[in-house]
Amino acid sequence: MNEANIVAKEPAVLELEPGTYYWCACGKSDNQPFCDGSHEGSEFTPKVFEISEKKTVALCQCKHSKNPPFCDGSHAEL
């Protein structure tokens, strides 16, 4: 697998509590947009990110963002 699976051409808009999160980079997780280990055996690794206070975020699901794990609008060009 050289290219990530496109899960959706829109972000996952979620309200997250403070903590450490693991964003799925491969697009194969059944727990999108978070990693469930489905990347194992591939060149993909999850993107670890921290949330310091409760907030709403837009997480990339097209897996083409230039600012992962956050949506940058790249899905509009797919």
Task: State the pTM of this model.
Answer: 0.93
pLDDT on residue 1: 56
User: Are the beta carbons of 38 and 1 closer than 8 angstroms?
Assistant: no
pLDDT on residue 17: 98
pLDDT on residue 10: 98
The CA-based angle 37-73-65, given to 5 degrees, is 35
Q: What is the number of structural domains in the chain?
A: 1
Structural domain boundaries, residue 49: 12-77
Q: Would 53 be classed as within a structural domain?
A: yes
pLDDT along the chain (78 residues), means of 10: 90 98 98 97 96 98 97 96
Q: Would 33 be classed as within a structural domain?
A: yes
Strands 12-16 and 19-23: what pairing? unpaired
Q: Would 2 be classed as within a structural domain?
A: no
User: Are the beta carbons of 63 and 27 closer than 8 angstroms?
Assistant: yes
Q: Would 59 be classed as within a structural domain?
A: yes
Q: Would 5 be classed as within a structural domain?
A: no
Quick check: helix, strand or coil at residue 57? Answer: strand
